[in-house]
Structure 1
């Protein structure tokens, strides 16, 4: 959100509608004519101590009216001892044209940010009508404390103050009611997923009720040992941290890592509470929302992991600035690094890459910055840096590199970006046709420190090109509309002492970047995008987005799901059977292309780190890294674990619970999809037994519980896996 000066010639009609609306009766202009409204605000325009502002959302739509004033030149000066660092404030949110949960809280914080953006201001003063309980609650949320009631010329007012420190310390999302909801959700998920992975075994007590320890709850048990636990039904102690720590031995958490896992649980709870408070878009609203609005609205991380939103390292301000759910525009930092001490890989001219990414004017600006320090721009290349990474790591951990001008801080990006669900990847909101930018960030999240290794990424662009060529050259994949978003370029700094030791570590993954293609240029006019993770999203009230999409599409649920399977499941099966090629096709790694609210094709992303060729076919030397010679059974798990158990199990449970499509019908359609592919491609159908009755139960939470600092060894993922018996194959019958 941003604030611009109110323009009476431009904004009068809007202003009149707002201030005379019945909801704005405390504003004192009920029944006023446009002429009177103009006159009132002309007085403000003519007053050097009073200012009116129009507040707009990130898309430029008008949302609110704000006023700021100097209390020393107001009626309040008679009622308290005004400080030079005080500023007065009024705010009026636009009358609702549709339900927008959390809007008033967001507006209030935007106005407070605006007030405190002036470093001379240390306290905000407000004087709302004592009858206005709603605004009093919003004031309290951001740190205002009521001093006393004062009688003004037009009202009895609550004289209230908020200091800069009080505002910075305000955490409106951390309250008992919201934390209880977050705890219920997390404990319910833990009961469901730990039961699924056979770590715990709740006992039935009748009528769909189960007991585990001191907890009793209602749950549904579906095939594949899929549990759906009703959070509202939980009875017993609801402390999620005590619940987890009490199960340390049962869950197999090493004693020395218990604190780290509990911190990820606590951070997940805090993230959920923040989303419950600030992100209240309904499923019905998201049906028609844009790509980035959906991305920001996701309230859940990976559907299987219990601790899925850790982000250890982020503070409160970092979360509000950089978390995807905050949805705030971010300008990336840029640094220049010596070409002789860094790598850059791109199938093209390096300078042309920079020109395409940030334009001639920005490139010229960076070159002038280098020359102003007596440096030759020809000796340097440019890397985007996450603002958090520069502040917390590069300027400190790499201080010698900055001092000797091997790493030179430059200006921020001209373009604004938005963080994606993967935290370290950014979408360009000013130029959506430009590439995604993936940065390194030393934040611990869901079992990994989210760094990027320059050495590892040297072969990422050629791997991506090889996979893209294979996909594009396959007639079946083209017919399904299956495409990959290539990571076209990579860069990284290697001239530091950490690299010179020759020992890979978190410190050798601190400064690197990838550029990935944007899907926007490939869309037709009638198509739009959504992360596949949105198909397992439920809003605050428990309504599923996928259910709303199916309803809005106007076609049957079975037809909708069959179309989705052709776009998603069939290409995954084909890649596995035809090419021994396996992706990591979970929800966040897929982008759906929707037509009339139906997924008709998909984009696969995150190719470089999460793709494997599981045979001994000849590969170019630079692609050899992704070869993984393995057993037939493990090849099959690329479908059974990563697709069936890791994602579709959750989607099937949602559709069944909502009465949209039964579990049996869902998996029958999945089986039909696999069998139809076999019928169309008999020569490869028997290479894997995808209709076998059971498959090995590979457990994801067990990996994180064993080592929350690094779940798997990326260089040898197969040996890292943990199994718990077998699961029934839902398409076997």
Structure 2
């Protein structure tokens, strides 16, 4: 459900508000006998008060709740002598949820309460929210404490005895860390761990003797796990989290605990003892992220079908589908998570630093110009403000370039690790940009919500997440724009790709500073990847009327009730599921197969690297992104010298893994299982459509027959390349990005579902 809060216009909603406050369920508002005129006069008084405001809350566009905010120091609380608990930065709050017309919806009031708290803390000047419910109102007191409030003491307000309670930003940020959420998060993560580690053949559950067909048992060194699961093609497991029972050596039942699971199975999983604590920390952060989503995210899968790009982006329940620890974000504190994690859907203002021109590098794609880039992204007024800041320090603006910086990166890295450079004014903080940006699932990439037609911005963010420190290398990115130009030209010049509407979102400019002491050292290190950024095209200007877009990773999303976004899209489209799947595969699988067969060109096509274009809820075309770091030419196609680094040497049996592993195993096995599990389309029919997609492409392109034979996408089996094995082997740097093929780890073969 979509919750919005707006200033109350009492004239337009007087009858509705009167009905709410005089309903028997609203007894604690003490207006049961109020007339319509009484309610009008009360809200006229609020409107006249300079420190008291009334707000109307809507759910899915319909009025659903009433909010009042006020300055406690200027209220009846402030008039009480000897009330030392009030402090500057306090904001008082009342909330009234409309009486339910029918059966109450589970979690409805909680979701509204969380939205009201976010509304209160949206004002950066608010340090605490203060409430004073009637001491007899036990349900609302429980809502308060669940949201992070601490009850201080009873206060006599004359007409009632109130329970004075306060909630700081930090308390609210940590309110999701509750036992109820933790139990669900643990079960979800252990179910995923069993599924993915079994898929990668690091552990081996066995069927329960005499049990149901879906009953399994996993024996560990000290505990036994019994659970139910379905097994799909590609040795894909779907474990029911609610079914998991963990028993100790004496058969006693124990709590399901994801960290305990990994710690127990660590030898079998191949985690080095020195890195196990780091991986357990990433697991804890992943669990905390799950708890936050369980507590706060309100949109259902059905809601997302009609939602905009960024609503879908922020609602996704899962990070990378294969990695068990996929939301590590080591370096973020709890307040950082509440402000900047993608699932919070909060906007941020990027900071901008000026760096010495002779110690920086700016790479521009074709048709781009430095001044035009900055003017388009910042605007002339902001550029003038930045220049004035430099002149006030007696610095020449012409001697500097501007680099966007995440606020966390400035506070934790630039202002500390590079303090000497800041003091010497080789790095100058010139201020915030005017636009609001929203973190994407990839966490260091931001969408411009103020002006969606402007570019994505990607910045260095020195947190540890999913096997990598999320920095950006100025040296490595110097070739990024020209690589993107080359790939875009190839894609745009190909008739097959053009017919499919397949395109790339170019990374058209990169900037980085290299004047620090770390760049003067002989050996590379993460310290060289802390001050850099790039700009990537937005898909918004390329959408036609009636089209919307969504990150392809959303197809794997399930909401809190377990409903699937992919299944809801199929239903909303009105198409037979088989036709919907074929449209999706023609937009996704076929162009990538064509790039391999025609050019030996491989992308990294996981869900976060593609943006789906949807028309009438059907994927009709795709935009590929993250080109500079994750594209490879695996043959002898002529390349310009400046993009030669993308050529890779790969064994023949590895080349086809660009489809078999990256698409079949990395994406489609999840989509196929979701649609089958939800009764939308049997997986056999899904994979039949995938085979038909490949076969039809080959029939349409007889000139590529030699390539089709070489890649042999329909072979009976293919090598089983494993991702968690990579992360578990080295949680600090999963692969060498300059030689990814040598980093691959295999576990036998998988039966090809399109064979």
**Aligning the two structures, in what range does the TM-score lie when normalised by the shorter sequence?**
over 0.9
Structure 2 residue aligned with 1:323: 341
Whole-Å separation in 2 of the counterparts to 1:622 and 1:13: 69
> Are 1:546 and 2:566 counterparts?
yes
Whole-Å separation in 1 of the counterparts to 2:605 and 2:111: 34
Structure 2 residue aligned with 1:181: 184
Q: How does 1:561-572 map to 2 (within 5 A)?
A: 561-572=581-592
> Are 1:81 and 2:88 counterparts?
no
Tell me if structure 2 keeps the 8 A contact 1:224–1:727. yes
Report the CA distance shift for 1:448/1:2 in structure 2 as closer, same or farther (over 3 A): same
Q: Which among 708, 713, 719 is matched to residue 690 of structure 1?
A: 713
Structure 2 residue aligned with 1:199: 202
The Cα offsets for residues 680-720 of structure 1, whole Å up to 9 and x where unpaired, read as 11221342211110000000100001001111101111110
Whole-Å separation in 2 of the counterparts to 1:110 and 1:544: 27
Q: Secondary structure at the match of 1:582?
A: strand
Q: Secondary structure at the match of 2:40?
A: helix
- Following TM superposition, by how much is the alpha carbon of 1:632 offset from its aligned partner in structure 2, in angstroms? 1.8
Q: Which among 99, 112, 117 is matched to residue 109 of structure 1?
A: 117
Range moving further from structure 2, 585-594 or 342-351: 342-351
> Are 1:307 and 2:310 counterparts?
no
Tell me if structure 1 keeps the 8 A contact 2:91–2:126. no
- Following TM superposition, by how much is the alpha carbon of 1:503 offset from its aligned partner in structure 2, in angstroms? 2.1
Report the CA distance shift for 1:170/1:295 in structure 2 as closer, same or farther (over 3 A): closer
The Cα offsets for residues 614-636 of structure 1, whole Å up to 9 and x where unpaired, read as 11222111111111022221110
Q: How does 1:36-75 map to 2 (within 5 A)?
A: 36-47=38-49, 50-54=51-55, 64-71=66-73, 74=76
Q: Which among 272, 297, 303 is matched to residue 254 of structure 1?
A: 272
Tell me if structure 1 keeps the 8 A contact 2:437–2:448. yes
Report the CA distance shift for 1:703/1:584 in structure 2 as closer, same or farther (over 3 A): same
Whole-Å separation in 2 of the counterparts to 1:88 and 1:401: 40
The Cα offsets for residues 179-235 of structure 1, whole Å up to 9 and x where unpaired, read as 110010100011111111110110110202111121100011122111111001001
> Are 1:699 and 2:722 counterparts?
yes
> Are 1:212 and 2:209 counterparts?
no
> Are 1:161 and 2:165 counterparts?
yes
Structure 1 residue aligned with 2:492: 472
Whole-Å separation in 1 of the counterparts to 2:111 and 2:654: 48
The Cα offsets for residues 403-450 of structure 1, whole Å up to 9 and x where unpaired, read as 111110011110001000000000000100000000000011110111
The Cα offsets for residues 440-493 of structure 1, whole Å up to 9 and x where unpaired, read as 000111101110000000000000010000000000001111010000000000
Whole-Å separation in 2 of the counterparts to 1:601 and 1:556: 19
Q: Secondary structure at the match of 1:653?
A: helix
Range moving further from structure 2, 607-616 or 679-688: 679-688
The Cα offsets for residues 155-180 of structure 1, whole Å up to 9 and x where unpaired, read as x4432232648x54762211111111
Q: How does 1:456-467 map to 2 (within 5 A)?
A: 456-467=476-487
> Are 1:481 and 2:489 counterparts?
no
- Following TM superposition, by how much is the alpha carbon of 1:307 offset from its aligned partner in structure 2, in angstroms? 0.8
Range moving further from structure 2, 626-635 or 659-668: 626-635
Q: Secondary structure at the match of 1:649?
A: helix
Structure 2 residue aligned with 1:441: 461
> Are 1:297 and 2:302 counterparts?
no
> Are 1:235 and 2:250 counterparts?
no
- After superposition, the CA RMSD in angstroms is 2.6
Q: Secondary structure at the match of 2:318?
A: coil
> Are 1:126 and 2:131 counterparts?
yes
Q: Secondary structure at the match of 2:430?
A: strand
Q: Secondary structure at the match of 1:437?
A: strand
- Following TM superposition, by how much is the alpha carbon of 1:590 offset from its aligned partner in structure 2, in angstroms? 0.7
Q: Secondary structure at the match of 1:550?
A: helix
> Are 1:280 and 2:298 counterparts?
yes
Whole-Å separation in 1 of the counterparts to 2:647 and 2:458: 24
The Cα offsets for residues 298-329 of structure 1, whole Å up to 9 and x where unpaired, read as 01011111111111111111101111100011
Whole-Å separation in 2 of the counterparts to 1:499 and 1:25: 68
Whole-Å separation in 2 of the counterparts to 1:291 and 1:357: 21
> Are 1:136 and 2:152 counterparts?
no
Q: Secondary structure at the match of 1:210?
A: strand
Whole-Å separation in 1 of the counterparts to 2:57 and 2:359: 45
Tell me if structure 2 keeps the 8 A contact 1:224–1:730. yes
Whole-Å separation in 2 of the counterparts to 1:22 and 1:552: 39
Q: Which runs of 5+ in 1 are unaligned?
A: none
Tell me if structure 2 keeps the 8 A contact 1:72–1:82. no
Report the CA distance shift for 1:349/1:17 in structure 2 as closer, same or farther (over 3 A): farther
Structure 2 residue aligned with 1:617: 637
Whole-Å separation in 2 of the counterparts to 1:431 and 1:56: 26
- Following TM superposition, by how much is the alpha carbon of 1:54 offset from its aligned partner in structure 2, in angstroms? 3.1
Tell me if structure 2 keeps the 8 A contact 1:105–1:278. no
Structure 2 residue aligned with 1:587: 607
Report the CA distance shift for 1:330/1:57 in structure 2 as closer, same or farther (over 3 A): farther
Whole-Å separation in 1 of the counterparts to 2:20 and 2:388: 48
Whole-Å separation in 2 of the counterparts to 1:17 and 1:513: 54
- Following TM superposition, by how much is the alpha carbon of 1:51 offset from its aligned partner in structure 2, in angstroms? 1.2
Whole-Å separation in 2 of the counterparts to 1:376 and 1:415: 25
Report the CA distance shift for 1:83/1:657 in structure 2 as closer, same or farther (over 3 A): closer
Report the CA distance shift for 1:300/1:125 in structure 2 as closer, same or farther (over 3 A): closer
Structure 2 residue aligned with 1:524: 544
Structure 2 residue aligned with 1:342: 360
Tell me if structure 1 keeps the 8 A contact 2:289–2:327. yes
- Following TM superposition, by how much is the alpha carbon of 1:39 offset from its aligned partner in structure 2, in angstroms? 1.2
Q: Secondary structure at the match of 1:300?
A: coil
Structure 1 residue aligned with 2:670: 650
- Following TM superposition, by how much is the alpha carbon of 1:91 offset from its aligned partner in structure 2, in angstroms? 2.3
- Give the TM-score taking structure 2 as reference length: 0.91
- Give the TM-score taking structure 1 as reference length: 0.94
Whole-Å separation in 2 of the counterparts to 1:433 and 1:22: 50
Whole-Å separation in 2 of the counterparts to 1:84 and 1:400: 41
Report the CA distance shift for 1:633/1:140 in structure 2 as closer, same or farther (over 3 A): same
Structure 1 residue aligned with 2:251: none
Whole-Å separation in 2 of the counterparts to 1:133 and 1:26: 11
Whole-Å separation in 2 of the counterparts to 1:147 and 1:679: 74
Q: Which runs of 5+ in 2 are unaligned?
A: 247-253
Tell me if structure 2 keeps the 8 A contact 1:146–1:158. no
Range moving further from structure 2, 201-210 or 50-59: 50-59
> Are 1:511 and 2:531 counterparts?
yes
Tell me if structure 1 keeps the 8 A contact 2:502–2:587. yes
